[in-house]
Amino acid sequence: MRDRLRSSLWFVPAIFGVGAVVLAVVMVRLDRSTESATIVGFGGGPESARSVLSTVAASTITFAGLVFSITVLALQLASGQFSPRVLRTFLRDRAGKVTLGITIGTFTYSLLVLQSVRSEASRGGEFVPSLAVSASLLFAIVAVGAFIQYIHHISQSIQASRILDAVAEETTEAIARLSQREPGAPPPTSVSWIATCAVSHDGVVVRADEPALVDLAAANGCMFELVPAVGDSIADGMPLIRTTATISGAAAREAVRAIDVAPERTMQQDVAFGLRQLVDVAERALSPGVNDPTTAVQAIDRIHAALRRLATVPLGQRWVADQEAQPRLSIREPAWDDLVSLGFDEIRRSGEGSLQVSRRLRAALDDLLSVATGERRRAIERQIQLLDASDARSFQDPGDVEMASVGDPQGIGGPGRADPTGAVNRTS
């Protein structure tokens, strides 16, 4: 629910709208209670107050329409220029929602205060809520400032580096959650799965409530296995959970409810989705219609940083134990080899023939080779071999092949790198 609310365009403006209703009632009542007192506020009569409030309401609703139009335009631009997957970044951006909330709140507040203004001919005599009208003027000024700030913010946020940074930041948060979880339990010696719980609707597995599943398995004296991995697409009737013992229908329904299924992937527990978005941006940049290898290099920068953080994080098949240290839940997660392949394979193929992409990929692989240990080095070495073969196939000139064999963190333009023998390779 929290993730859905963060990605919604209506939630924050709705809060501002409700707050505006409450504030309008409070301010009008405050004006009524101090009507005979000398207060500092709006000094005009009923007609002037109506004119001010009408102008503020009309102008702020116009601002709201402009904010909405600019937001939709930015979403369209980001989807076409980068990737439809990065729309989540814009939908989770608070600046546009707060600006829209301020303008809608000011509009709502002004309308409610407007209906409380009375002239002398009205029943009850003349009443001008001077404090409330003054507050409306103040809110209008704030709305103008928020609109100007939003224009500046949106002009910055549609830059490739900002979009990539936003995706990389979410990916880093997901990696941090992986690093902070409890170590996996040793797997049992033998497991016999005899029953399954099926899913009742289509979607994508976005989250598994591990504590709830572990407690449920312990209460039923069995073990569970989450059949699809987080991020996998599932269809109605597919097996969702396997068990080592037959459980009641109520327990099966509770186990299924502990698995969140949504229309699209999120990064709550899906680190691979962060890499997927970065790879999509790089591939779109390397497409013939765009041909922007510099943006691809910027995406590789973030992929390199994410894989460097993942180099020491436990990955792959994992068992979760209960309080008695008994393994209760088996979860299939992407292994190190899978994430390395996801981060580099498609970009390497799409970037064939680009010296800039090849040199940046090589610099990333060289660095990852220095931090990976044990079996994880094999995946990096395999990527280096594939990159060597790709360079030999793509570049006909021996000088280009030699240049592509030098890793450069900037793609082209850096000082080169030190090779394993200690010599420094440099380009002219």
Q: What is the mean pLDDT of residues 224-229?
A: 94
Share of the chain above pLDDT 90, in %: 59
Query: What residues pair up with 323 in beta bridges, in sequence order?
Result: none
Q: Which of 4-13, 50-59, 107-116, 287-296 has the lowest mean pLDDT?
A: 4-13
Flag whether 237 is in a domain: no
pLDDT value at residue 3: 74
pLDDT value at residue 188: 86
pLDDT value at residue 85: 79
Q: Which one of 40-49, 175-184, 202-211, 414-423 scores highest in mean pLDDT?
A: 202-211
Kindly state whether residues 145 and 277 are assigned to the same domain.
Answer: no
Backbone phi, psi, residue 134, to 5°: -60, -40
**What is the dihedral sign for C-alpha 240, 244, 250, 254?**
negative
- Categorize the per-residue pLDDT at 123 as very low, low, confident or very high, splitting at 50, 70 and 90: low
| Whether 352 contacts 390, CB under 8 Å | yes
Flag whether 260 is in a domain: no
Neighbours of 202 (CB within 10 A): 13
Copy the structure tokens of residue 95: 């600046």
Query: What residues pair up with 195 in beta bridges, in sequence order?
Result: 243
Task: Indicate whether 284 pLDDT > 60.
Answer: yes
Kindly state whether residues 9 and 149 are assigned to the same domain.
Answer: yes
Question: Would you tell me the crossing angle of helices 94-114 and 46-81 to the nearest 10 degrees?
Answer: 160
Amino acid letter for position 406? V
Task: Indicate whether 423 pLDDT > 70.
Answer: no
Flag whether 264 is in a domain: no
**Last residue of a domain, which of 158, 180, 198?**
158
Task: Indicate whether 378 pLDDT > 80.
Answer: yes
Query: For 383, how many CA atoms within 13 A lie in the half-sphere containing its CB?
Result: 29
Query: What residues pair up with 225 in beta bridges, in sequence order?
Result: 242, 330
Q: Going by DSSP bridges, is the β-strand pair 224-226/327-331 parallel, antiparallel, or unpaired?
A: parallel
**Last residue of a domain, which of 158, 189, 214?**
158
Domain that holds residue 380: 271-314+335-425
Q: Which of 63-67, 123-127, 369-373 has the lowest mean pLDDT?
A: 123-127
Going by C-alpha positions, the residue among 220, 193, 212, 340 that lies closest to residue 271 is 340
Neighbours of 334 (CB within 10 A): 20
Instruction: Note the pLDDT tens digit of each residue in 97-106.
Output: 999 999 999 9
Q: Which of 16-20, 260-264, 387-391 has the lowest mean pLDDT?
A: 260-264
Flag whether 17 is in a domain: yes
**Last residue of a domain, which of 141, 158, 175?**
158
**Rounded Cα distance, 416 and 408, in Å:** 5
Please state the three-class secondary structure of the chain as a single string: CHHHHHCCCCHHHHHHHHHHHHHHHHHHHHHHHCCCCCCCCCCCCHHHHHHHHHHHHHHHHHHHHHHHHHHHHHHHHHHHHCCHHHHHHHHCCHHHHHHHHHHHHHHHHHHHHHCCCECCCCCCCCECCHHHHHHHHHHHHHHHHHHHHHHHHHHHHCCHHHHHHHHHHHHHHHHHHHHHCCCCECCCCCCCCCEEEECCCCEEEEEECHHHHHHHHHHCCCCEEECCCCCCEECCCCEEEEECCCCCHHHHHHHHHCEEEECCCCCCCCHHHHHHHHHHHHHHHHCCCCCCHHHHHHHHHHHHHHHHHHCCCCCCCEEEECCCCCEEEEECCCCHHHHHHHHHHHHHHHCCCCHHHHHHHHHHHHHHHHHCCCCHHHHHHHHHHHHHHHHHHHCCCHHHHHHHCCCCCCCCCCCCEECCCCCEECCC
- Categorize the per-residue pLDDT at 427 as very low, low, confident or very high, splitting at 50, 70 and 90: very low
Query: What residues pair up with 403 in beta bridges, in sequence order?
Result: none
Instruction: Note the pLDDT tens digit of each residue in 127-176.
Output: 888 899 999 999 999 999 999 999 998 888 888 898 999 899 999 999 99
pLDDT value at residue 40: 56
| Whether 186 contacts 314, CB under 8 Å | no
- Categorize the per-residue pLDDT at 302 as very low, low, confident or very high, splitting at 50, 70 and 90: very high
What's the first-to-final CA gap in the chain, in angstroms? 55
pLDDT value at residue 414: 63
Instruction: Note the pLDDT tens digit of each residue in 23-78.
Output: 999 999 988 887 644 455 677 788 898 999 999 999 999 999 998 888 888 888 88
pLDDT value at residue 81: 79
- Categorize the per-residue pLDDT at 121 as very low, low, confident or very high, splitting at 50, 70 and 90: low
Mean of all residue pLDDT scores within the chain: 88
Flag whether 277 is in a domain: yes
Q: What is the mean pLDDT of residues 403-408?
A: 90
| Whether 171 contacts 271, CB under 8 Å | yes
* Cα separation values, 81 from 14, 75, 144, 280, 281, Å: 31, 10, 30, 11, 8
Task: Indicate whether 178 pLDDT > 90.
Answer: no
pLDDT value at residue 346: 96
Kindly state whether residues 151 and 277 are assigned to the same domain.
Answer: no
Q: What is the mean pLDDT of residues 257-268?
A: 89
**Rounded Cα distance, 17 and 295, in Å:** 40
Copy the structure tokens of residue 315: 């990955």
Flag whether 249 is in a domain: no
pLDDT value at residue 17: 94
Provide the domain count of the chain.
2
Flag whether 148 is in a domain: yes
Flag whether 218 is in a domain: no
pLDDT value at residue 388: 95
Burial class of residue 5 (count of CB atoms within 10 Å of its CB; 0-12, 13-18, 19+):
exposed
**What is the dihedral sign for C-alpha 224, 225, 231, 234?**
negative
Q: Which one of 28-42, 43-57, 193-207, 326-340 scores highest in mean pLDDT?
A: 326-340
Task: Indicate whether 425 pLDDT > 50.
Answer: no
Backbone phi, psi, residue 305, to 5°: -65, -40
